[in-house]
């Protein structure tokens, strides 16, 4: 996903660590997640699980009962920053994990949530 130059983003730019610490507290708010090549969609009987494969790879899994339905492997060192913006629908908030070089900006991962970033600065997010 190419990031549009000059686009207006209402959510401030976030570091990957701030975003990750926040999103793990909001697994029930994820509507879909993916990469430019694949998308994992949420459903009523699925739940999202976050984990770590090794020191370089974070895991986002979608599970139905005890069955793994989808998995996204996130490599934090690829992410320069996270940018949030409103989706096409009122209850969609898109967070693009952007990889930026001197020549290119690419959203290497994305998460769509039912609400925007709501960190109150205390480090204590709501779990819902």
- Please write the tens of the pLDDT for every residue from 104-117: 899 999 999 998 88
* Domain boundaries of the chain, sorted by first residue: 16-113
Q: Give CATH for domain 16-113.
A: 2.30.29
Q: What is the pTM of this model?
A: 0.82
pLDDT tens-digit series, residues 72-91 = 999 999 999 999 988 888 88
- Euclidean distance between the first and the last CA atom of the chain, given in angstroms as a whole number: 29
Question: By the 8 A CB rule, do 15 and 82 touch?
Answer: yes
């Amino acid at each position: 996903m190419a990031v549009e130059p000059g686009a207006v983003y209402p959510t401030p730019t976030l570091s990957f660590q701030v975003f990750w610490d926040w999103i793990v507290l909001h697994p029930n708010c994820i509507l879909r997640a993916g990469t430019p090549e694949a998308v994992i969609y949420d459903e009523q009987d699925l739940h999202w699980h976050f984990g770590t494969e090794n020191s370089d790879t974070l895991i986002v899994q979608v599970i139905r009962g005890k069955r793994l339905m989808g998995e996204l492997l996130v490599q934090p060192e690829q992410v320069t920053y996270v940018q949030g913006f409103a989706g096409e629908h009122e209850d969609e908030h898109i967070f693009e994990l952007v990889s930026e070089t001197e020549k290119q900006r690419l959203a290497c991962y994305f998460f769509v949530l039912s609400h925007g970033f709501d960190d109150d600065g205390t480090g204590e997010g709501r779990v819902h």
